[in-house]
Chains A and B, each alone.
Chain A
Amino acid sequence: MKDAGRNFRLGLFVLGGVVFLLGMLFFLGLSDAFSHKAAVCTYFAESVQGLSVGSEVKYRGVAIGTVSKIIIRVSDQLVQVNMEIGLDHFVNVDEGGRRQQIADFNRFFQSELEKGMRCRLEYTGITGLRYIDFDYYATPGQALPEKPLDDDDADQLFIPAVPSSFHDILKAIGTSLDRISRVRFEEISDGLERSFSELSGLLSDPALKSMIERVNGAALDLQSTSRTIAGVINEERLERLMDLLEADLTMIRELGEQWKRESREAKIPESSAAFREAAASLVAGSENFGVTLFKLNRALDAMTELVEYLNQDPGSLVRGKSSRPVAE
């Protein structure tokens, strides 16, 4: 009876141990052996520090698989990362046989690639560990980069990788540092030194010193003048001046209005028309006067000729004009 009790206890112990052993094995990964997986691969040109076999693979934040292999391609120094994607994470890719599931999965990922899906390395919090994230990092319809040549795993779906944000930051810092390193600090320093030395020479010039003294004197004069003005023109006086100025302006305005009014009343258009007519008649008179003066001029010429003739031959006044010319 004692032995029977002990054997029952031992049986429970051993069976319990075996059950727990199998349960733990199944719980801790043996179940993976029975799930369907699809293989995909990518190539990174950057460092994959923090990524290891077993690291997570996520599709827009959802863990869908793990990294199964990381190798370095000696031909082009690219890091090839193979991944295993659990097909049970995709709802509609869970029907039919394994071959059908993989075909559906490949079709789905191809369409996603055309929509701009790419993979990128991302950090897991502050731990330094990394995972691979599939998301739309490229513009839809963008041409897919070609898969690197001499690939041993030709049947695997190729997901192009884009540089990680950390890589972008490092690249930007590198570019900035490169540009800074190209700045010729020595030349700038020499130039500044020269400029300072010239400025120092300029400042020590006696002419400039005397000019500065004169400017100082002028500034002092201006200061005393402004002080005087401030003493003479106080607020009350300024207000009075402003009142006077305002009154004057009012008067000017009134004068202007009055002038406008008078000019309207003066009938300037009619006066100017009469003036134009008078001017026209004056112009006609002046033309007549010109003709008269021309005629008078001719009469004077004839008179002068007569006087000269008489002067040469006074007798002609009595006997009349001879036939031969007098001057000859």
Chain B
Amino acid sequence: MIGMREVVETFREPVVFIGRVAGVFPHLFHRRGLRRREFLYYLDLCGARSLPIVLAICYLMGLVLGFQAALQMRKVGTEIFVVDLVGFSVLKEFGPLMVAMIATGRAGSAFAAEIGTMKVDEEISALETMGISPAAYLVLPKMLSMLIALPVLTVFGDFAGIVGGLTVGVTVLDLPMAAYCSRTMEVLDSVTFLLGVVKSMVFAVLITLAGCYCGFRSSADAQGVGRAATSAVVSSIFLVVIADAVIAILYSFIGY
């Protein structure tokens, strides 16, 4: 039987963690506030190394979307609207979402496992003993690298998704490439594209926070690290989907 105290504690802990991370953000503006080496490492891990899989998955996503749309729209002779469907779906939803899912699998679990292992080795306690804030030392480089990597990956993912739709349009629907590109330019606008990129920044924050939080909360044994990694992935996906829904509603208020 879970008591009221545990329930309150369950919700209190993440809020405290967010507060702790927010409290160390001014460290970024100190001369030695950001560990440059770690920042580049995570940028490489979450960004550059994720690029091939992001391109492949987003291209295939655009391909599948275009193909399914083509099957239905061909029935009513509106093949050209495949461009609209693929373009808007990729830019507004699937681009940022698929990138976030890949980042969750690659970075979120890695963050949780890394911090969990440090906890097992009592490195976290050692940092605290030395007066170093674990949030500033461990979370900030990850957060900053994710805030850069995810939008860049989303840009690549959007491009790959549109190219996937273009492949279907040109090969399956026999649409001229110029007509497909012209229609894409006609129906999509830069604001839609930028809103998707902004969305990916929100996802970056959520994935980093969930991964690091699960790492910090892991029990000090090997099994605990495994559970923390799993929990980080599940929590990240859940939070990303919830945030996506909320952002979609917010965007609808401004007409997008």
Which residues on A are within 8 Å of B, measured CB to CB? 6-7, 9-10, 12-14, 16-18, 20-21, 24-25, 27-30, 54, 56, 63, 125-127
Q: Which residue on B lies nearest to A17, using beta carbons?
A: B152
Contact B190 A25 (CB under 8 A): yes
On whether A13 and B47 interact (CB within 8 A), knowing A20-B156, A24-B158, A25-B194, the answer reads yes
B48 at the interface (CB under 8 A from A): yes
On whether A126 and B76 interact (CB within 8 A), knowing A10-B47, A29-B188, the answer reads yes
Contact B159 A20 (CB under 8 A): yes
Contacts of A126 in B (CB 8 A): 76, 78
Contact B155 A9 (CB under 8 A): no
B243 at the interface (CB under 8 A from A): no
Q: Which residue on A lies nearest to B45, using beta carbons?
A: A6
Cα distance A13–B47 in the bound complex, in angstroms: 7
Residue in A6, A17, A30, A127 whose beta carbon sits within 8 Å of that of B156 in the complex: A17
Residue in A20, A30, A125 whose beta carbon sits within 8 Å of that of B155 in the complex: A20
Contact B151 A10 (CB under 8 A): no
Contact B151 A25 (CB under 8 A): no
Give 25 A-B contacts (CB < 8 Å), ordered by A residue.
A9-B44, A9-B48, A10-B40, A10-B48, A12-B48, A13-B47, A13-B152, A14-B43, A14-B152, A17-B152, A17-B153, A17-B155, A17-B156, A18-B152, A20-B159, A21-B197, A24-B158, A24-B159, A24-B190, A25-B193, A28-B190, A28-B193, A29-B185, A29-B189, A126-B78
Cα distance A54–B43 in the bound complex, in angstroms: 39
Produce 1/0 per residue, B3-14, CB < 8 A to A: 000000000000
In the assembled complex, the CB of A307 is this many whole angstroms from the nearest CB of chain B, namely: 136
Contacts of B49 in A (CB 8 A): 9
Contact A17 B190 (CB under 8 A): no
Q: Which residue on A lies nearest to B159, using beta carbons?
A: A20
Contacts of A56 in B (CB 8 A): 186
Contact B190 A6 (CB under 8 A): no
Contact B194 A16 (CB under 8 A): no
Contacts of B190 in A (CB 8 A): 24-25, 28-30
Contact A6 B40 (CB under 8 A): yes
Q: Which residue on B lies nearest to A53, using beta carbons?
A: B255
Contact A17 B151 (CB under 8 A): yes
Contacts of A20 in B (CB 8 A): 155-156, 159
Cα distance A125–B152 in the bound complex, in angstroms: 38
B51 at the interface (CB under 8 A from A): yes
Contacts of B197 in A (CB 8 A): 21
Q: Which residue on A lies nearest to B196, using beta carbons?
A: A24
In the assembled complex, the CB of A228 is this many whole angstroms from the nearest CB of chain B, namely: 74
Q: Which residue on B lies nearest to A26, using beta carbons?
A: B190
Q: Which residue on A lies nearest to B76, using beta carbons?
A: A126
Contact A10 B155 (CB under 8 A): no
Contacts of B184 in A (CB 8 A): 27-28
Contacts of B81 in A (CB 8 A): 127
Cα distance A29–B191 in the bound complex, in angstroms: 9
| Best-buried of A27, A54, A126 by chain B (most CB within 10 Å) | A27
Cα distance A286–B152 in the bound complex, in angstroms: 147
In the assembled complex, the CB of B153 is this many whole angstroms from the nearest CB of chain A, namely: 8
Contacts of B185 in A (CB 8 A): 27-29
On whether A28 and B43 interact (CB within 8 A), knowing A12-B48, A17-B156, the answer reads no
Contact B43 A10 (CB under 8 A): yes
Other A-B contacts than A24-B190, A27-B185, A28-B184, 9 sampled, CB-CB below 8 A, are A9-B44, A10-B47, A10-B48, A14-B47, A21-B151, A24-B158, A25-B190, A28-B185, A28-B192
Cα distance A14–B41 in the bound complex, in angstroms: 14
Contacts of B234 in A (CB 8 A): none
In the assembled complex, the CB of A7 is this many whole angstroms from the nearest CB of chain B, namely: 7
B64 at the interface (CB under 8 A from A): no
Q: Which residue on A lies nearest to B255, using beta carbons?
A: A53
B148 at the interface (CB under 8 A from A): yes
Cα distance A126–B80 in the bound complex, in angstroms: 13
Contacts of B148 in A (CB 8 A): 14
CB-CB contacts below 8 Å: B48-101 with A? 48-49, 51, 76, 78, 81
Q: Which residue on B lies nearest to A33, using beta carbons?
A: B190
Cα distance A29–B190 in the bound complex, in angstroms: 6
Contacts of A28 in B (CB 8 A): 184-185, 188-190, 192-193
Cα distance A24–B47 in the bound complex, in angstroms: 19
Contacts of B51 in A (CB 8 A): 13
Produce 1/0 per residue, B186-222, CB < 8 A to A: 1011111110010000000000000000000000000
Residue in B40, B153, B155, B186 whose beta carbon sits within 8 Å of that of A24 in the complex: B155
Contacts of B78 in A (CB 8 A): 125-127
Contacts of B192 in A (CB 8 A): 28
Cα distance A125–B48 in the bound complex, in angstroms: 44
Contacts of B158 in A (CB 8 A): 24
On whether A13 and B189 interact (CB within 8 A), knowing A20-B155, A126-B76, the answer reads no
Cα distance A7–B37 in the bound complex, in angstroms: 10
